[in-house]
């Protein structure tokens, strides 16, 4: 860093001390660049600490571009190949962090999410990266390089920053840098620092923003379904959930406002307002055949009683009021075949139209973001705008549940850090 009478100067300034920002910072720092990371909240890495129920699902063993949504589905390939899940795991191993591999190849800390954050901060310290919290950035200006041959070695970006920590230490700063990395995240979980700052800045530099919505988020319902969900709050079921041709097999969880659980969070990335979802409550069974077999055996039990052997009892009770109210007191042996077939079809294709989602308040990610059309997939630099980089969630790259969004943060942060 260079000081003069009015301005602090760094090679690289990074806005946002989350996963992508810290990764970009330590990568640039180890290249010998002077780096400053500015974080507007009171602490760094809040989403890291809160993730995975406090255990941080920090990556996945098997990462492929199919695990990501974007208007340019191939954009993420270069960065993911340049810095892989194995590369990050090697860093974790160097720091002797204990982790476990869970279902769907998800890697979680055994101890605490803080292990990952402390590792990143230790690496930043080794790389001599400066990190400042309570820092709000106001205006950002850019000056065209005077010498075209030295366009990557001039302090072209000037930021006006204000420190808003302890009242007696409030100060305003002018900071200039050669490279500016935007790692401010998206709109998800505003209590952890989510904001639209990165989108506003992208617009200032003539970048497009794709449609934004809450991603990896629970659904809400209205009317009878919401009432049913409230009565079933806490009940879980392993299902297939389908929307727009995409299916996820995982658990759903009924809540006071609707339905959550891993399957719902996954499918929410593919759902649009007003569309329906389909739930197969028996993904590994032919429930229609089972019902018909019970009739063939002259079974005198009720449909609800039989299905209570296969489903949570409370769920079977609620489904009766929706799917077979006319046969609530009729033994299976007396229910017409076509009615049993229809009931079986409804149980495997339960069609629901969510009223909406829980929104950014609980969303794990923001779906959409800064369009990748003018972003280099190799460096994360804005094409035609020397020294300006966008990384992590702020970009139009949204991963599936399971460690993929963290891997995108590591990979995109590393890519920018190599060139910023």
Rg (CA), the chain: 26
Instruction: For residues 407 and 383, state if they share a domain.
Output: yes
pLDDT of amino acid 115:
98
Q: Model's pTM, two decimal places? A: 0.94
Of 335, 357, 379, the last residue of a domain is 357
d(CA 137, CA 41): 12
pLDDT of amino acid 84:
98
Instruction: For residues 125 and 247, state if they share a domain.
Output: no
Q: Which residues contact 168 (CB under 8 A, 6 or more apart)?
A: none
Strands 8-15 and 171-182, sheet pairing = parallel
pLDDT of amino acid 403:
98
d(CA 369, CA 20): 15
Instruction: For residues 40 and 170, state if they share a domain.
Output: yes
**How many separate domains does the chain show?**
2
Instruction: For residues 112 and 190, state if they share a domain.
Output: yes
Residue 287 C-beta-side C-alpha neighbours within 13 Å: 22
Is residue 228 within 8 Å of 352, Cβ to Cβ?
no
Is residue 113 within 8 Å of 49, Cβ to Cβ?
yes
CATH number, domain containing residue 95: 3.50.50.60
Instruction: For residues 90 and 52, state if they share a domain.
Output: yes
Q: State the Cα torsion 61-215-352-66 to the nearest 10°.
A: -40
Is residue 239 within 8 Å of 279, Cβ to Cβ?
yes
Instruction: For residues 182 and 262, state if they share a domain.
Output: no
Helix pair angle (85-94, 404-419), 10° resolution: 90
Nearest by Cα to 140 from 190, 166, 179, 196: 179
d(CA 4, CA 14): 20
Nearest by Cα to 241 from 212, 218, 214: 218
* CA distances for 15 relative to 37, 295, 346, 392, angstroms: 6, 66, 50, 12
pLDDT of amino acid 169:
63
Instruction: For residues 230 and 193, state if they share a domain.
Output: no
Is residue 233 within 8 Å of 254, Cβ to Cβ?
yes
pLDDT of amino acid 5:
46
Instruction: For residues 410 and 301, state if they share a domain.
Output: no
Instruction: For residues 66 and 124, state if they share a domain.
Output: yes
Give pLDDT tens digits for 169-227: 667 889 999 999 999 999 998 878 888 999 999 999 999 999 999 999 999 999 999 99
Instruction: For residues 228 and 181, state if they share a domain.
Output: no
Residue ranges making up the domain that contains 397? 2-213+366-419
d(CA 391, CA 378): 12
Give pLDDT tens digits for 409-420: 999 999 999 999
126 in helix, strand or coil? helix
pLDDT of amino acid 1:
59
28 in helix, strand or coil? helix
Instruction: For residues 143 and 24, state if they share a domain.
Output: yes
Nearest by Cα to 36 from 6, 3, 83: 3
Give the residues across from 249 on adjacent strands. Answer: 240
d(CA 21, CA 194): 14
Instruction: For residues 167 and 306, state if they share a domain.
Output: no
Strands 213-215 and 365-367, sheet pairing = antiparallel
Of 357, 375, 402, the last residue of a domain is 357
d(CA 210, CA 91): 34
Of 340, 357, 374, the last residue of a domain is 357
d(CA 401, CA 399): 7
d(CA 274, CA 252): 20
Residue segments in the chain with a per-residue pLDDT below the cut of 70: 1-5, 147-153, 165-170
């Amino acid at each position: 860093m260079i000081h003069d009478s009015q301005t602090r100067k760094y090679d690289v300034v990074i806005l946002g001390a989350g996963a992508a920002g810290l990764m970009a910072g330590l990568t640039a720092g180890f290249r010998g660049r002077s780096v400053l990371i500015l974080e507007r909240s009171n602490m760094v890495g809040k989403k890291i600490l809160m993730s995975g129920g406090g255990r941080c699902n920090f990556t996945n063993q098997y990462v492929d571009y199919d695990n990501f949504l974007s208007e340019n589905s191939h954009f993420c390939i270069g960065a993911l190949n340049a810095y892989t899940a194995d590369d990050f795991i090697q860093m974790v191993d160097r720091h002797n962090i204990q982790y476990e591999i869970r279902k769907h190849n998800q890697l979680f800390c055994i101890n605490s999410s803080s292990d990952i954050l402390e590792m990143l901060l230790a690496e930043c310290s080794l790389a001599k990266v400066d990190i400042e919290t309570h820092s709000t950035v106001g205006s950002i200006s850019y000056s065209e390089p005077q010498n075209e041959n030295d366009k990557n070695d001039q302090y072209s970006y000037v930021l006006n920053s204000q420190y808003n920590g302890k009242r007696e230490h409030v100060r305003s700063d002018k900071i200039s840098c050669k490279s500016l990395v935007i790692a401010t995240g998206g709109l998800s979980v505003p209590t952890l620092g989510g904001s639209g700052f990165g989108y506003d800045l992208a617009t200032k530099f003539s970048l497009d923003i794709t449609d934004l919505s809450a991603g990896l988020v629970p659904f809400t319902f209205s009317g009878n379904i919401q009432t049913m969900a409230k009565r079933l709050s806490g009940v879980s079921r392993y299902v297939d959930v389908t929307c727009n041709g995409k299916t996820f097999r995982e658990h759903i969880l009924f809540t006071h406002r609707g339905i959550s659980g891993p399957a719902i969070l996954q499918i929410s990335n593919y759902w649009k307002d007003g569309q329906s979802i389909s739930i197969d409550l028996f993904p590994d069974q032919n429930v229609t055949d089972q019902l018909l077999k019970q009739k063939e055996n002259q079974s005198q039990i009720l449909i609800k009683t039989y299905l209570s052997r296969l489903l949570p009892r409370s769920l079977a009770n609620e489904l009766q009021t929706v799917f077979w109210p006319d046969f609530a007191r009729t033994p299976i042996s007396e229910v017409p075949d076509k009615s049993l077939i229809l009931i079986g079809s409804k149980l495997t294709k339960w069609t629901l139209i969510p009223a909406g989602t829980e929104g950014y308040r609980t969303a794990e990610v923001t779906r959409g973001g800064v369009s990748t059309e003018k972003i280099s997939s190799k460096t994360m630099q804005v094409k035609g705008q020397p020294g300006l980089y966008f990384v992590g969630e702020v970009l139009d790259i949204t991963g599936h549940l399971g460690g993929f969004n963290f891997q995108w943060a590591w990979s995109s942060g590393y890519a920018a850090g190599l060139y910023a």
